[in-house]
Structure 1
Amino acid sequence: MERKKGSRKVMDGVKAAHDGMDAGPRKKFRKPAAKTFDGTEIAEGVRKGSRLHLGKAITLLESSNPVHKKHGQELLSSLLPHTGNSIRIGITGVPGAGKSTFIETFGEMLTERGHRVAVLAIDPSSSVTGGSILGDKTRMEQLARNPNAFIRPSPTAGTLGGVHKKTRETMLLCEAAGYDIILVETVGVGQSETLVRGMVDMFLLLVLTGAGDELQGMKKGILELADAIIVHKADQSNAELAKKTVSEYKQMLHFLQPATEGWKTRALPVSSLENKGITELWEMAQEFVETAKAGGQWTRRRQFQTKDWFHSMIMDELHSRFFENAQKRGQVKELEQRILEDNMTVSQAIADLFE
């Protein structure tokens, strides 16, 4: 009985407390007001070299949210007068060539000479989350901590050739932020070499020592794209082999069309581990820039790249708007089924779709 009385008292107390709460005025909980977009603040932050604001600006450009995309384009337009003042260098190579190690050593050397370096690393995307797999900030820890460097990994997000379609716009934002050297690293999946070559001033191809079999399998077109071939990991026991590899590439380059008019593609050994050949590479890059500007190729190449970018964006927008139409999406599914059932050819389906 005592336990029942005690339990009843407890329940009475709980009820009284509950009734007391009901008796008083209820507080209204409101959702915090959504922050308004302040493009001026972000633009000023980017111009002052703030990595935080630069990251926010790039996120706006890469977003698939229509509102974010609109804000991103407005922001980019306001910063356009402050762009175009960098040297853009593309870097590719076979897996295992040591691209990240090379970029970190190269970037450290450039910052020591007073340059500000932005690294746009195109990572392969996860098929599950769509995010970057390689994580370049973890592979370039020292450079990531450098106050004069900025590293931005971008997932390919299914883009052909492993190049994010916003990479060109990201380069412009980095230039507006005062980065005078832009390094674009690609995963090197074949088609990406052509795409990266179409957005940079100078294109570097990293290869490994022991060129024999590699030369046999190397596509002539890739070698023609390169402004310089870096025989990487030319250190320790590989040093002598690297010299031999450089000679083999030089012989092959002698018969190839140069990538840039007025410039003969060169090959040189480089060791990021022992910091050898890095300074020579930078001197060569400066010579390349002087040659390209003196002959007018620098301006012509950038104008061609801008025109190519414009046409690529037209195709992207047409594709996007086409599949935003619910009626067209339904028609595509219906025509797919008819094609699979052999009731219609692909050409007939396309004709029906665009009538």
Structure 2
Amino acid sequence: MTDVTAPPATLDDAILAGERAALARAITLAESRRADHREQAQALIQRLLPRTGGALRVGITGVPGVGKSTAIDALGTYLTAKGHKVAVLAVDPSSSRTGGSILGDKTRMARLAVDPNAYIRPSPSSGTLGGVAAKTRETMLLCEAAGFDIILVETVGVGQSETAVADLTDFFLVLMLPNAGDELQGIKKGIIELADMIAVNKADGNGANAARAAAAQYRAALHILAPASALWSTPVVTISGLTGEGLDALWTKIMDHHARHEAKGLIAERRRRQDVKWMWAMVQDRLQAKLRHDPALKARTPELERAVAAGELTATLAAEEIAKALGL
């Protein structure tokens, strides 16, 4: 077993050798709020960076009740059976208390939880979407260095978390329910625009016909939208996380998408854009952290808010005072 207190060089080697204790130690360092731990983590990730980037990164989202845990468990098991090493990560900005329902999902992913070629890791909530997603990104890089060649990034939140996961991954899969109502509601929420593929889950038993009908509705809805890429039109498939039906066709389409875009250099281009975007997201996160934790600002901000609300001070002047306190 790896000595998790080992010096950095030993930790590097252990991670590259795929030792889980070392990977867990590195992820814990990356998630820590202690400055010295964060410095160690960043130095470690920087050293390992040349050994990252080799995995296929797939984002997965779906409304509560869509059967996401069951579907991920089935897909991950399907992939490990094909010889892949699969890491399941989570982005959940919604819970500041529990750290996200993926902690419960881990027990529901019964097969993956005991699969030696799979690794399930939640991202703790840190109160900001940028912070959570950044931790997930760092975890993803560490998992890639440890030899995981497929990363499944699950969003268990709603709203902005879909955009966060789409900005972390190469392919974005949206799970939908049969009998979910008007397909235009999905467009209204902006989810369909993000999707590289839509999969209607629970296409088994009595739900099979409803799933096929829902898939036809989503295909009709997609005709309204211009494809995000000339290389790809968003397909709609039906799957069953319970029986595994449709997973082979689903994965074939994901691989087709990857091959087409990689051949044109678009995967690398997408990742470069993502890296720059997350750099600025972390800058914003640092500024927000200073606003929350700087003693002088914490003491002054309530008074500024009161004065603006009372009409005694303009919002512009209050913002300028805060900006000056931040050194801007």
TM-score by length of 1: 0.84
Cα separation, 2, equivalents of 1:124 and 1:96 = 19
Structure 2 vs 1, CA of residues 126 and 248 (structure 1 numbering), >3 Å: closer, same or farther? closer
Q: Who is 2:8 aligned against? A: 39
Cα separation, 2, equivalents of 1:328 and 1:161 = 21
Worse-matched range after superposition: 259-268 or 325-334:
325-334
1:329 aligns with 2:298: yes
Worse-matched range after superposition: 308-317 or 90-99:
308-317
Structure 2 vs 1, CA of residues 323 and 121 (structure 1 numbering), >3 Å: closer, same or farther? closer
Aligned pair partner of 1:296 in 256, 260, 265: 265
- Cα deviation for residue 156 of structure 1 reads 2.7
Cα separation, 1, equivalents of 2:200 and 2:131 = 23
Matches within 5 A, 1:221-236: 221-236=190-205
Aligned pair partner of 1:215 in 179, 183, 186: 183
Structure 2 vs 1, CA of residues 260 and 196 (structure 1 numbering), >3 Å: closer, same or farther? farther
User: Partner of 2:133: helix, strand, or coil?
Assistant: coil
- Cα deviation for residue 141 of structure 1 reads 2.0
Cα separation, 1, equivalents of 2:5 and 2:23 = 18
Please list the CA deviations of residues 49-91 of structure 1 after superposition, one character each: whole Å capped at 9, or x if unmatched: 1111111111101111111111111111111110000100000
Decide whether the 8 Å contact of 2:131 with 2:282 is kept in 1.
no
1:284 aligns with 2:273: no
Please list the CA deviations of residues 245-282 of structure 1 after superposition, one character each: whole Å capped at 9, or x if unmatched: 11121122122122344111000000111210001111
Cα separation, 2, equivalents of 1:353 and 1:36 = 41
Cα separation, 1, equivalents of 2:214 and 2:9 = 52
- The one-letter code sitting in structure 2 at the alignment partner of 1:219 is I
Decide whether the 8 Å contact of 2:123 with 2:135 is kept in 1.
no
Cα separation, 1, equivalents of 2:208 and 2:236 = 14
Matches within 5 A, 1:43-58: 43-58=12-27
User: Partner of 1:90: helix, strand, or coil?
Assistant: strand
Cα separation, 2, equivalents of 1:282 and 1:158 = 34
User: Partner of 2:122: helix, strand, or coil?
Assistant: strand
1:274 aligns with 2:243: yes
Q: Which has the higher contact order (CA 8 A, sep 6+)?
A: 2
Cα separation, 2, equivalents of 1:332 and 1:109 = 53
Decide whether the 8 Å contact of 2:80 with 2:118 is kept in 1.
yes
User: Partner of 2:83: helix, strand, or coil?
Assistant: coil
Cα separation, 1, equivalents of 2:17 and 2:42 = 19
Cα RMSD of the aligned pairs, angstroms, is: 2.1
- Percent same amino acid at aligned positions? 45
Decide whether the 8 Å contact of 1:162 with 1:192 is kept in 2.
no
1:75 aligns with 2:56: no
Please list the CA deviations of residues 177-209 of structure 1 after superposition, one character each: whole Å capped at 9, or x if unmatched: 000000000014111111111110000000011
Cα separation, 2, equivalents of 1:345 and 1:82 = 52
Matches within 5 A, 1:87-106: 87-106=56-75
Aligned pair partner of 1:251 in 202, 206, 220: 220
Decide whether the 8 Å contact of 1:160 with 1:192 is kept in 2.
yes
Structure 2 unaligned runs (5+)? Answer: none
Structure 1 unaligned runs (5+)? Answer: 1-34
- The one-letter code sitting in structure 1 at the alignment partner of 2:99 is G
The size of the alignment, in residue pairs, is 319
Q: Which structure has the larger Rg over C-alpha atoms?
A: 1
Cα separation, 1, equivalents of 2:251 and 2:239 = 11
